[in-house]
Structures are given as C-alpha cells and as structure tokens.
Amino acid sequence: MNSPTVKRYLPWVVATALFMEQLDSTIVNTAVPAMAASLHVTPLSLKAVITSYILSLAVCIPVSGWMADRFGTRRVFGVAVAVFIFSSILCGLAVNAPMLVAARILQGIGAAMMMPVGRLAIIRTFPKAELLTAMNFVIIPALIGPLLGPTVGGLIVHWLSWREIFFANVPVGLVALLLIHRHMPDYRGAAPRPLDLVGLVLFGSGTALLSWLLEVFGEHHLDVTSAAILLLLSLSLLAAYVLHARQASYPLLRLALFRIRTFRVSVVGGFITRLGVGGLPFLLPLLYQLGLGLPAWESGLLMMPSAAAAMAMKLISARVLRRHGYRQVLIVNTVMIGLTLCLFSLVIPATPIILIVLLGLAQGFFNSLQFSGMNSMAYADIETPDSSMASTIASTLQQISMSFGLACGSLIVAWYLGGLPQTDRVAVTNALHHAFLTLGGLTILSSLSFRALRSGDGESVSRGNLHEAE
C-alpha cells in the first residue's frame, strides 16, 4: 500500500483536489455582482451563494472521518470529487438563485469530504519522519487558492461570464479522478464505529448557526435581541455536544484527543492564529482597491507575492523546523505574522509599490511556515488508529477558523467604520488600518498558546527531513 509509486503520486492527488476546492471557495466572491445581474436579483440576496457553501462544509466535515473508516479512503475521496464536479456543472447551469444556492450546498458537501479524507490518506501513507515534507507539498494549494481566487475570478468574469468560473472546475476535477483511480490508497478503519447521529445534530446545527450569524452579521438588518438569542442558542448547542461527547461511546468528534499536548496546542493555537490570517483575502483587496484606488486587476496582482513566497518557504520549512524546533519556530513566527499584519496599517496611496510587494512576500513566507508547522505537529503524537479522528477534528476546526477569520475581519472593519458611508474613502482606509492593527495584535497574543510546547515536541515528524530539504 505504501509503495514508492503511491508515495510519489498521492501528494499530487490530494493537492489537485484541494486546490480546486480552495480556489472555488474564494473565486465566487468576485463574480457575485455579475451573477446578480444575470439572475435578475440584488447582489445582497446572493450572499446565500457563499454562506450555503460554508454552512454545508461546517456540517459535513465531521462525518468525513466516519465515512472514510467505513467505506474506504479511495471510494469516499473519489465520490467527493465526482460530487464536486457534478455540482459545479449545476452551478454553471443555474437559471435562478434558488437553484444556484442548492447546487452550492451540494458542492460544499463534496468539498467537506475532500480535505480531511485526503489528509488522512497522507497521514497513513507516510511515516512520521516523512510526514512534514508530504504535508508541505499538499498545503501549498490551501495557501495559493484564496490568493489567486479573486484575481482569476475577476479575469474570467471580465473576459467570459460568471458561469465559466464553475465550469473551470471540470477539467481539474477530471484530472483528480484519474489520479485517484490510479494512485489513491484505500484505507479503512479496523473496526468502523457507528455514526453519532445525536452528536451530528448538536455539533452540526450549533456550528452552522454560529457560522451563519458571523457571515450575515452586518450584511442583513438583524436586531440585537435576535442576534443575541441565536448566538446563545448556537453556543448552547455546542456546549450540549461537549457534554454528549464525554458520555458517548463513539462520539462524532472524540474530544479526548485534546489531552495530547501537541495535538491540543496545534489545533487550538492554530484556530486563534487563523482568525487573524483568515481575514486577509477579504481585507487586502479592500485596502488596495478602496484605500489605494487601484483597479481590480492590479489589486489581484498584489496578492501574487504572498503565493510566490509560500511556495518558496516549502523548500526550506523542513530544515527550519528541524533545526530550531516546533516550539521556538511557532512562537517567533506567530509574532512575525502579527507584526506584518500590523505593518499593513501603514500602507497609504503614497507607499511605493515595491514596499507593498515586499510586505506581501513576508506575509506569505511566514504564513506558509506557520501552516506547515501547525498542520504537521498535530499528528506528532497521534497513534495510527486515531489518525482518522485527528484528521477530522483538525480539518473541522481549520475550516471553521478560516471562515470565522473572514467574518471577523469584516465585522472589525464595520465596527471601526461606524455609521460612516462606505463611499468615504478616507474613513474606509482608516477603518481598514485599525482592523489590521487589531488582527495583528490578536495574532501576536496567540503566540502565547505555543509556549505550552516543549523543546523536543514534534521531533517524530521533523526528524529525517533535514537531509531531504537540503
């Protein structure tokens, strides 16, 4: 099962599917105005096109581990990609807003199965000494997709139509299906556990409601009382799940894994860190277009340096983590991410483009190292029988944190903007600058969570990668 051929091609299989998913999740934002005009609805009413996808992700990711254990990684991953392709075609053929929303829900279900199942296959194929290198390769699409999405989406809408945004997934998906058929290993759980339906209802509804609240807050007129009641309800559902998981024999998400220090620090610390980083795909285009007055295409190009730096870091991150250790790297690197976020508050129309490019390079460089460290350290002390559950938990919280980060970024900007109109360029720029300072400060504080690590933590993952990095 772990033949050299599988090891050679599996990262490409997972990376191809992950890139398709990550690109699609951000490329749609640019096309909303064009969709609204084509379907004869208001742009605001198409917010559901984005939120429906996020909600289906939040609800369905926890089930992916159970499905992989029961039906096998190859079948589940292949079906997930096929569902994603089919729903993408339905999105492109949509004749009205309800059909588009329904297709996006189906698309989110397919995407929810791809990320954790692909990561699970990587974990079970590569020994821990080779895991960091493999994870480095696979995580790059997750960094590049959100950065390329707005640019690619803008170009497609400008030259073609919004429907081609969804049709573009088809050739990529077909390549992924071919790779899955030839090179995807078929792992199953030794003793598949029953599905925790009560846990699914509690966790899924609580997460979905909380995600929906954060996504629509500020976009719709929701009175404070209603918002507070819904927030309390969502938190109550999640608290009920925690109580249920402690008593259930086979919980949907086994919270006992958080007793493992490296897993707990990686997942919880990563959750907080991603709250700051998750807002970048939303905040940076606003800063460049509204703050600096740049056209959309030039704003998109300014997102490219981060993607290039992320790819470059992949070549040396294994060496850095091996030489300095996870604890030191994650503490220092988290502070550097926070500082670069804060530096974006100094970007004004008079700022030379070269300085903005250098700042983008630094941001992508540190982000890539951070994700490589957090995503690989999570499995340093996880035993093979627990790898499916660990992958499910990590993927669930990662998706939620990035979604929350995007929502929090918009909420913070709206809070600083107050009642001023969004057409006030100076007010919007000041609000964005304050938002970058706030998110940067939150990120710097999140570095404290990594102080719980010990100097030798993660060596089972990083050991043996120094030679490969060289």
DSSP 176-236: HHHHHHHH------SSPPPP-HHHHHHHHHHHHHHHHHHHHBTTB---HHHHHHHHHHHHH
Task: Convert 220-242 into a string of H (helix), E (strand) and C (coil).
Answer: ECCCHHHHHHHHHHHHHHHHHHH
Radius of gyration of the chain (CA): 21
- For residue 240, being part of any structural domain is answered with yes
Predicted pLDDT of residue 174: 86
- Average pLDDT of the chain, as a whole number: 77
Same domain, 433 and 451: yes
Please answer whether residues 435 and 409 qualify as being in contact, where contact means their C-beta atoms are separated by less than 8 angstroms.
yes
| Digitized pLDDT (tens) for each residue of the chain, 470 residues in all | 456 677 777 777 777 777 777 777 666 666 666 677 777 766 555 666 666 777 777 778 878 777 877 788 788 888 998 999 899 889 888 888 788 888 888 888 888 888 778 777 787 777 766 766 777 677 666 666 666 666 666 667 667 777 777 887 788 788 888 878 777 777 776 666 777 888 888 888 888 788 777 765 545 556 677 778 888 998 999 899 989 988 888 887 888 888 888 888 888 888 888 877 877 776 787 788 777 777 766 776 777 787 778 777 777 777 787 787 788 888 899 999 999 999 998 888 888 889 988 998 898 888 888 887 887 777 777 776 777 677 778 877 777 777 777 777 777 887 887 766 656 677 878 888 898 999 899 889 888 888 877 777 666 665 544 333 32
Which amino acid is residue 92, in one-letter code? Answer: G
Residues 267 and 410 reside in one and the same domain: yes
**What's the Cα-to-Cα distance from 366 to each of 269, 301, 316, 371, rounded to whole Å?**
16, 19, 12, 9
Query: Residue 24 and residue 268: Cα distance in Å, rounded?
Result: 26
The residue assigned the tokens 């020994």 is 127
Nearest to 21 by CA among 139, 135, 112, 116: 112
CA distance 57 to 402: 12
Residue 125 counted as domain residue? yes
218: left (phi over 0), alpha (psi -120 to 50) or beta: left
Same domain? 64 vs 210: no
Q: Which two tokens stand for residue 60?
A: 């369905």
pLDDT, position 315: 73
Task: Report pLDDT for 27.
Answer: 67
* pLDDT tens-digit readout, 211-221: 777 765 545 55
User: Which residues have C-beta within 8 Å of that of residue 98, sequence separation ≥ 6?
Assistant: none
Locate tokens 């057409």: which residue? 423
Report the SS3 class of residue 291. helix
Question: Hey, what amino acid is at 415?
Answer: W
What is 262-319 written as a DSSP string? Answer: HHHHHHHHHHHHHHHHTTHHHHHHHIIIIIS---HHHHHHTTHHHHHHHHHHHTTHHH
Same domain, 334 and 391: yes
Residue 10: inside a domain, yes or no?
yes
pLDDT computed for residue 305 by the predictor: 80
Task: Count H helices and E strands in the chain, helices first.
Answer: 20, 0
Residue showing tokens 């999105």: 91
Domain termination residue (choose one: 224, 249, 274)? 249
User: Which uninterrupted H or E stretch holds 83?
Assistant: helix 73-93
Residues 62 and 2 in one domain: yes
CA atoms of 281 and 155, how far apart (whole Å)? 17
C-alpha 417/C-alpha 423 separation (Å) is 11
Element (H, E) at 450: none
Residues 186, 237: one domain? no
Q: Which of 166, 192, 218 is the last residue of a domain?
A: 192
88 vs 104: CA distance, rounded Å: 8
pLDDT at 465: 43
Q: Are residues 242 and 265 in the same domain?
A: no
Instruction: Indicate the pTM of the whole model.
Output: 0.73
Q: How many domains does the chain have?
A: 3
Determine how many CB atoms are found less than 10 A away from the CB of residue 411: 16
**Tell me: the pLDDT tens digits for 81-134?**
899 989 988 988 888 878 888 888 888 888 888 877 877 778 777 776 676 677
Predicted local confidence at residue 228, as pLDDT: 81
pLDDT at 67: 81
Q: Is 407 buried (19+), middle (13-18) or exposed (0-12) by CB count in 10 A?
A: buried
Do 171 and 218 lie in one domain? The reply is no
What's the pLDDT tens digit per position in 38-49? 777 665 556 666
What CATH number should be reported for the domain holding residue 46? Answer: 1.20.1250.20
Looking at residue 129, its pLDDT comes to: 67
- How many C-alpha atoms does 416 have within 13 Å on its Cβ side? 19
Whether 254 is covered by a domain: the verdict is no
Q: Which pLDDT value is given to residue 468?
A: 34
Residues 6+ positions from 232 with CB-CB distance below 8 Å: none
Per-residue burial over 173-207, b if 16 or more Cβ lie within 10 Å, else e, is: bebbbebbeebbbebbbeeebeebeebbbbbbbbb
Q: Are residues 295 and 421 in the same domain?
A: yes
Q: What is the DSSP string of 136-153?
A: HHHHHHHHHHHHHHHHHH
- Where in the sequence is the domain holding 117, given as residue range(s)? 1-192
Residue owning tokens 């029988």: 385
pLDDT at 340: 92
CA atoms within 13 A on the CB side of 335: 8
